[in-house]
Homo-oligomer: A and B are copies of this chain.
Amino acid sequence: MATLADVAALAGYNKSTVSRALTRPEMVAPDTLARIHDAAKQLGYVLNRTASHLARGRTGLVAFVVPTLENAFFAPIIGGAQARAAASDLHLTVAVATLETPAQVAALTRLAGQVDGLILAAPRGEDAHVAAIGATKPIVLVDREIPGLPSVVADTATAIGQVVSGLAARGHHRIAYLGGPSGSWQDPGRAAAARAAALDAGVTLSVHGPFPATFAAGVSAAEEVLASGATAVVPYATALALGLMLALRGRGLHVPDDIVVSAETQVTDALGAPGIPAIDVDGESLGRAAMDLLTSPSAGTLRLPVRVSWS
């Protein structure tokens, strides 16, 4: 591997000039620049990030922390962040932690020492624990707000309110809301929005949960949903919706004729029936926004709209 010194020798300049030519071209005379670029190309020089990072006191790593990898919801978010990270010459390292236990907080604190910044997606620990990590390193929250920390959240509460109103308008009198994992920051807001919309429309809303955002939990929720007598269900997550749909069908009910379940457009489209609400979060945008917030910091919350549509 060619080093800066090699390039310098070939071009007839000093290491430092070469370094400047490569990182701050405006500090160097044009023809010097050209000669150095030539030499670099000729030698196939590529920057040694490790050395660069050591000298600069940075690591070039950003940790993306998710509560779980089982929930496909986070995949596009990671994808979006990853794309932006690559554009800034950063690496994204993925870690799994909810921040609910001291051990997890400790592990994440250790990890924080090895990265330039963290993106915490839907962390479930206490404000103070999360903030403590934010005190050490730049940090951005996704789908969670903590005063003083920058964050980007999908405005699903509003969306869910719209869904409940729409369902009521379509004649549903009993609606069920299936809550997310305990500790979820989004959940209370969604439940509240659902309640408010139901109250407003004069329909009954039953709130169930908490449930992990998994297919299996959706299956296990079927019983409770049936008992509630609801004709429409608004689950916290797509995985939950899918599990519920299949379990309902396993009990002989027809979705959506007997009971309507909201999900993503992708899923509601498949059913090919009208009147099913779809809630679509643009995960990639969330991820990109989070990464952008990390690289060009600014406090406050960025609230991204969520699309609601009806099949």
Q: Cβ of A113: which chain B residues have Cβ within 8 Å of it?
A: 46
CA distance A72 to B238 in the complex (A): 12
The reply to whether A243 and B215 contact each other, CB–CB distance below 8 Å, is no
Central interface residue in A46, A218, A250, A273, by most chain B CB within 10 Å: A250
Say whether A14 faces chain B, with CB atoms less than 8 Å apart: no
**A49 contacts partner chain B, Cβ-Cβ < 8 Å:** yes
Q: A54-B51, A59-B49, A94-B78 are in contact. Are A247 and B219 (CB under 8 A)?
A: no
Contacts of A114 in B (CB 8 A): 49, 91
A79 contacts B by Cβ under 8 Å: yes
- Asked whether A95 and B82 contact (CB < 8 A) given A50-B50, A54-B50, the answer is yes
Number of A residues with CB within 8 Å of any CB on chain B: 46
The reply on A100 being an interface residue by CB < 8 A is no
Q: How far is the CB of A27 from chain B (nearest CB, A)?
A: 25
- Please name the residue on chain B nearest to A219 by beta carbon: B270
Cβ A79 vs Cβ B69 within 8 A:
yes
Assess the A94–B82 pair: CB atoms within 8 A: yes
Q: Which of A76, A215, A219 has the most CB of B within 10 A?
A: A215
- The answer to whether the Cβ of A192 comes within 8 Å of any Cβ in the partner chain is no
Q: A54-B54, A114-B91 are in contact. Are A251 and B272 (CB under 8 A)?
A: yes
- Which of B50, B75, B254 lies in contact with A59, CB distance below 8 A? B50
On whether A215 and B266 interact (CB within 8 A), knowing A49-B114, A94-B92, A94-B94, the answer reads: yes
Is A216 an interface residue, CB under 8 A from the partner? Answer: yes
A201-237 vs B, CB cutoff 8 Å, 1 = contact: the mask equals: 0000000000000011011000000000000000000
Q: Mark A241-275, 1 if CB is under 8 A from B, else 0.
A: 01101110111001100000000001101111100
B271 touches A250 (CB 8 A): yes
Q: Residues 41-68 of chain A: 1 if any B CB is under 8 Å from the residue's CB, otherwise 0? A: 0000010111101100001010000000
**For A95, what are the chain B residues with a Cβ–Cβ distance below 8 Å?**
82
Q: Any chain B CB within 8 A of the CB of A298?
A: no
Q: Which listed residue, B69, B218, B254, B270, touches A215 by the CB 8 Å rule? A: B270
A96 at the interface (CB under 8 A from B): yes
* A–B Cβ pairs within 8 angstroms, 8 of them: A50-B59, A51-B54, A92-B94, A93-B94, A216-B266, A218-B270, A247-B270, A247-B272
